[in-house]
Amino acid sequence: MENLLKNEKSPYLKQHENNPVNWCTWGKKALDIAKELKKPIFLSVGYASCHWCHVMAHESFEDKNTADLMNKKFINIKVDREERPDLDNVFQKSLAILTGTPGGWPLSMFLDENGVPFSGGTYFPPKEMNGRPSFKNILSQVSDFYEKNRDKIIQQASQIKNVFKNDQKKSSVINQNLNPHLEAMLNYVDFEWGGFKGSPKFPQFYVFESFLHFYKKNKNEKYYDAVKILFSNVCSRGLYDHLLGGIARYSTDDRWIAPHFEKMLYDNILFINLLGQFYLQEPSEYYKDKINQTVEFINQSFKNKENLLGSAYDADSEGIEGKYYVWDDKELRSVLEKDYELFAKYYDISENGNWEGKNILIEKSIKPTKEDNEKLKKIKNKLLTVRDKRSKPFFDDKTQIDLNAYWISTLIFVAEVFDKEEWKKIALQNYHTIKNLTKDEVYHCYKDKEGIKVFLDDYAYLTQLMINFYEITGEASYLIDAKEIAQKTWDSFYDKDNKILQKNLIEKNDLFVPPSDINDSNIPNGNSIFLLNCKKLEIITGEAKWQSMNKELTQSFHSFLNLQSTQMVSYIKNLDMCDELQSFSFFGSINKIKELHKYVKKNYLKTSTLIYKNDSKESYLVICKNKTCSNKIKTIEELKSVVKNYAFY
């Protein structure tokens, strides 16, 4: 056997193509070899910007002695979790079932020759360390155990399959008050530093999006404060890149000082999506600047060869975590010279630094004067010029359709908020690029025009994007495309037994159990997105089939929610929106009510459905909520009055 990763397109898999390990990719061929040789499988799952994945690779997978042991005892399979989110989901759950410990990356699983897990872990060091056994010892122990207990291990496969089956537990509830589920989560919010209490601290923006939704609905100030305090700290402290924009994945401490420096596309999409909505509640030049800077960062720095967006930037450069982003005090003094003191007035920099003797740029609480703010822009540009000359972190440039679709939806939203024609143009260009790329078949990942099969999230976020373009433009072609993809989603992913949408294609599942996953992860679950898509299509088209799909899923999600609401926070918002989704119907020529149209798109795109009735000779707007509609509206003043009376948000 040989290392087969040289034939792969994934940047993560390519990082391992020269390992002395005889890596295979996941698939029938590798599983057939394991069966033929009666060998256990070592499954390693990671991604290109994962720091500890790199550490384990350097320590173990590049080591000849370790590789020899792996090759002798196991069939070794390497997987990019961003290419196979379904596989990653199933084996992360498997680790929790088998060991009672949370998963993570690198994920290191041991499977029987049929691809069913029986043991596993995450990072294993080359030598025993802090209670973690050495990787070579683990390899030997697992191999010996499998050899002595092979038949028993294979027979026990049914047990873990039954655990997965029982995991899809439901209550008898099919409708309920959603607010208490969300209100309970406020007990875990850190109202001093933002986010949730403890560390490491992830921003989890879609949870706070649900907070903002319910604040607008019931005016509970705690919901609003949770969002406000989160952004006050995320935007000012170490998680945010004050030179170029964008945020890192999470903070290693509970005060957002020291980030884990990798930058993920999905985190930055969620950041802009929610900050744009928060800006409408609390407009400020400060947040406007953060949005502008981060949008430009995403559009420029994440752009790949397909003219779409890649996936992530590594935390490391030159093998050192954070080296690209942090500053030695001497270097700052050398670069800034007489401007050092001014910069130190507004940023937490010092000789001793604030992280391992280095300086992570963090804003101080003092607000710059208008004059100083202009000087600070020039200082930051000077620092950025110096930083650009450093060795840059590795960029995973593969295109993920779900994330690209999500970004375009977010971009057209903030383009409407700030009336940015250039952003609208980029969004439309990116949409046409996706349409061209997926004209024959939709795949999940693309690298050099080759694809990895489609997943639920790809279809769900594509449908959402098409609906959003219809809502912005009124063009029927977007609606036609949305209906087609939504129907394909139902036909290809709907699990009739569990009454949810499966993560991968029902007919092409190659895992030991179906990946029926309802939990939110890095982004809101495709089930949650599809639910709202169905409701919008129902309201826009009046077609009964969308109502039927929405009703079936709504009842199913309510019965899951009672048992696992903390993992389904996006559903809390979307179920509530579906229950009383407000709509704005434009009749006649949009050109005759242009200002009204513009106002609605800016303020209500995220909370409502926009509908177009072009066959009317008269031009006006009608808004509806809870099966009650307004009179004809022709001015913004009339709209504001009606919105106030109807308790729109």
pLDDT tens for each residue of 432-460: 999 999 988 999 998 766 778 899 999 99
- The pLDDT value recorded for residue 154 is 97
- The pLDDT value recorded for residue 646 is 62
CB atoms within 10 A of CB 7: 10
Mean pLDDT of 264-275: 98
Mean pLDDT of 224-248: 98
Instruction: Considering the domain delimited by 582-646, tell me its CATH architecture.
Output: 3-Layer(aba) Sandwich (3.40)
Share of the chain above pLDDT 90, in %: 92
Mean pLDDT of 574-592: 96
**298 contacts 263 by C-beta, under 8 angstroms:** no
Task: Decide: residue 34, CB within 10 A, 0-12 exposed, 13-18 middle, 19+ buried.
Answer: buried
Residue 645 predicted with pLDDT over 80: no
Lowest mean pLDDT among 167-171, 233-237, 299-303: 167-171
- The pLDDT value recorded for residue 582 is 93
Give the phi and the psi of residue 99 in degrees, each rounded to 5.
-120, -15
Q: Find the DSSP H helices in 45-134.
A: 51-56, 64-73, 85-99
What is the residue extent of each domain of the chain?
Answer: 5-167, 179-316+396-579, 325-389, 582-646
What top-level class would CATH report for the domain 5-167? alpha beta
Mean pLDDT of 150-174: 88
Residue 19 predicted with pLDDT over 90: yes
Mean pLDDT of the chain: 95
pLDDT tens for each residue of 466-514: 999 999 999 999 999 999 999 999 999 999 999 999 999 999 999 999 9
- The pLDDT value recorded for residue 446 is 86
**223 contacts 207 by C-beta, under 8 angstroms:** no
Share of the chain above pLDDT 70, in %: 99
**End-to-end Cα spacing for the chain:** 62
Task: Decide: residue 496, CB within 10 A, 0-12 exposed, 13-18 middle, 19+ buried.
Answer: exposed
The tokens 């009703």 sit on which residue? 551
* CA gap 633, 645 in Å, rounded: 14
pLDDT category at 109 given cuts 50, 70, 90 is: very high
What is the dotted CATH code of the domain comprising 179-316+396-579? 1.50.10.10
pTM here is: 0.95
pLDDT category at 648 given cuts 50, 70, 90 is: low
Q: What is the DSSP letter of 59?
A: I
Residue 172 predicted with pLDDT over 90: no
The tokens 């980029």 sit on which residue? 426
pLDDT tens for each residue of 366-416: 999 999 999 999 999 999 999 999 999 999 999 999 999 999 999 999 999
- The pLDDT value recorded for residue 368 is 96
Residue 511 CB-half CA count within 13 A: 25
pLDDT tens for each residue of 598-620: 999 999 999 999 999 999 999 99
* CA gap 45, 79 in Å, rounded: 5
Do 5-167 and 582-646 have matching folds? yes
Residue 11 CB-half CA count within 13 A: 23
Residue 168 predicted with pLDDT over 80: no
- The pLDDT value recorded for residue 174 is 80
For residue 62, the SS3 value is coil
